Chains A and B, each alone.
Chain A
Amino acid sequence: MKIKMSLMALLGGMVFGGAALAEPTPAMLANACAGCHGTNGLSVGPTSPIISGMASEYFVAAMAAYKKGEWPSTIMGRIAKGYSDEQIKAMGDFFAKQPFVRAAQKNDAAKAKTGAKLHEEYCEKCHEKGGSAGEDAGVLAGQWMPYLEHAMEDYTSGKRPMTKKMQKQVDQLVQDHKHAGVEALVNFYGSAK
């Protein structure tokens, strides 16, 4: 074992004459996230979101936005800056393959019912299947509610940028239903079993 390793090192040294570029495996990179986001990204909550089962493209876009400070965060931006684009892509592909298991959490049934209607009216067109499809968006159905609250607070206060399409819908929602509308939506997503 030792002999083989030193021979490999020697060969590497002779043939390539330089230190190898660090390239941790996707699992090595992703496992370091688990202390906050749960084993394989399945957060047990309540505030840090589940990131398992998230579309890789969305993960990459989110991390890029955190890295550049375009999305507000407490700690995520500081951590995102520690990874190259390639490493972020590798983590995104890793988490996309892990199952998303909906969080079991308390929610207000009446608000969730209202939220279901609001979802149909304002959100379903893009966040399909009750917010459970996540091709170019985060999975909403079964996500931890405190995380959704924070995200919506950042969206509605203008701190977190949205696509024009989403901006229009969120503005309309808030105009029509105020904060209660947002709260209802959060309860609806939190109620997904």
Chain B
Amino acid sequence: MFKVNRRDFMKLTGGAAVVGSVLGMPHIARAAGQKVVVIGGGPGGATAAKYLKMGNPGLDVTLIESGDSYVACFLSNEVLSGERTLESLTVGFDGLKKYGITVVKDTASAIDPAAKKVTTSGGKTFDYDRCVVSPGVEFNYEAVVGYSEAASHKAPHAWKAGPQTLLLRKQLEDMKDGGTFVIVAPPNPFRCPPGPYERAAQVAMYFKHKKPKSKIIILDPKDDFAKKGLFIKAWTSLYGYGTPDSMIKWVSGADGGKVDKIDMETLTVSAQTEDFKADVLNVIPPQKAGHIAHVADLVNEKGWCSVNKKTFESSKHPGVHIIGDASDATTMPKSAYSASSQAKVCAAAIIDLLAGKEPGDPSYVNTCYSIAGPDYGFSVAGVYTYDAEKNEIAGVKGAGGLTPVDASPEMLKREVGYAHSWLANIVADSWK
């Protein structure tokens, strides 16, 4: 079949302007000052704002974010092990201001897609031509019987980095040697799929040196998880996994790992076949799209935002785009790199749409590192294209995938270096 790409099509038809006028629709790029409002200053929102300005400095870009700074969730498991400070994961918004982005410290409370307005809890209203929503996740606390937002001050989730991370670190430091640390892992889909298992490894690294008689139990509703083979191998070679003395115990769904209820008084977790008494309890609740996505009627029946995967425009409300963890772009894991990559695709699409052009073809990437111990890192990567027929993000066949299970110690060591380099670069690329 004769195929032609968009550029050839434009050549053949003499370009967009001619197409427009031939069809009686004059099509001139609109004057500067078109407004884009970005909600959320995480890796998705920050990257979107920056790349919108880089791609078209004439746009009027406003970022609405409730915090003075962003604390990166990625690599925050290293704070739990004492390898890293929370400050090293904290980044401000001054870098974005240098691009001419208006950063507003406030919380978006409503989006009116018909009037194209965003309202904030501070009482301000922002008009937009296009709106980008990057709210991350919100927790279904009550889905875990006995758990609640209030309970998270005693049994932290530490799944949004900040005070919760420091609280969990403090509890681990205060715990007696010989104590039990229980992690309640969430069902799919959730932010940072390898995170609970890296957390177990990082805490084990800390225990191994400071509290060697202590145990870590992961209670999981699932039978499989991200980078499972690599984690099992790392746990085995570093923390005795598979032996009676193993520091880490993973209870899969099939083995009764699904949690029925939690007694917050005694920190007793009732899993399907057994009760586990925790000295320190970490509950990572089931997740859904961030709050504003629900308020603004952007979510589907599963609690995530259905989007056009080429532009990330909402299937429900035109003119509103949702990127990152909150979107239903589930082919890509809910990671910072995915959010950042989607933000770039979304920014390019918005620039094209505002100029009256058809958005170009996307290209997406994910890379995600886990550090399981000293000099022991591994990664997963994916390169993706857009499948227009299915409106899906499709992994390029033969590309991406995991660190080989038989990777040499030298390669595992290098992956730690690359993980830290990844952190520096993704932070700079998103916020600076």
Contacts and interface: CB of A to CB of B under 8 A. Distances in A.
B421 A47 contact: yes
Given A28-B360, A47-B418, A16 B344 contact: no
Contacts of B235: none
Given A17-B1, A24-B385, A81-B383, 9 more contacts: A11-B13, A17-B2, A20-B3, A21-B5, A38-B428, A48-B422, A82-B400, A83-B396, A146-B421
A33 interface: yes
A193 to B, nearest CB: 21
Interface string A126-147: 0000000000000000000010
Interface string A25-42: 101110111111111000
B297 interface: no
A78 B400 contact: yes
A87 B396 CA distance: 13
B9 A16 contact: yes
Nearest to A28: B363
12 contacts: A19-B3, A24-B360, A24-B362, A25-B360, A32-B365, A35-B429, A39-B54, A43-B425, A44-B425, A74-B414, A83-B383, A83-B399
B2 A78 contact: no
B426 A35 contact: yes
B154 to A, nearest CB: 36
A35 B46 CA distance: 13
Contacts of B7: 23
Contacts of B389: 19
Contacts of B398: 81
Interface string B188-231: 00000000000000000000000000000000000000000000
Given A32-B341, A32-B344, A18 B361 contact: no
Contacts of B150: none
B417 A4 contact: no
Interface of B: 1-7, 9, 13, 19-20, 23, 25, 27, 51, 54-55, 337, 340-341, 344-345, 348, 353, 356, 358, 360-365, 367, 379, 381-386, 388-389, 396, 398-401, 403, 407, 411, 414-415, 417-418, 420-422, 424-426, 428-429
Given A36-B421, A79-B367, A16 B361 contact: no
A4 B426 contact: no
B424 A45 contact: yes
A113 to B, nearest CB: 26
B166 to A, nearest CB: 26
A17 B3 CA distance: 8
Which interface class (under 10, 10 to 19, 20 to 34, 35 or more) fits A?
Answer: 35 or more
B361 A22 contact: yes
A23 B421 contact: no
B210 to A, nearest CB: 28
A79 B19 CA distance: 38
B19 A43 contact: no
A99 interface: no
B363 A75 contact: no
Contacts of A44: 424-425, 428
Given A4-B27, A19-B3, A48-B421, A35 B340 contact: yes
A20 B356 contact: no
B23 A4 contact: yes
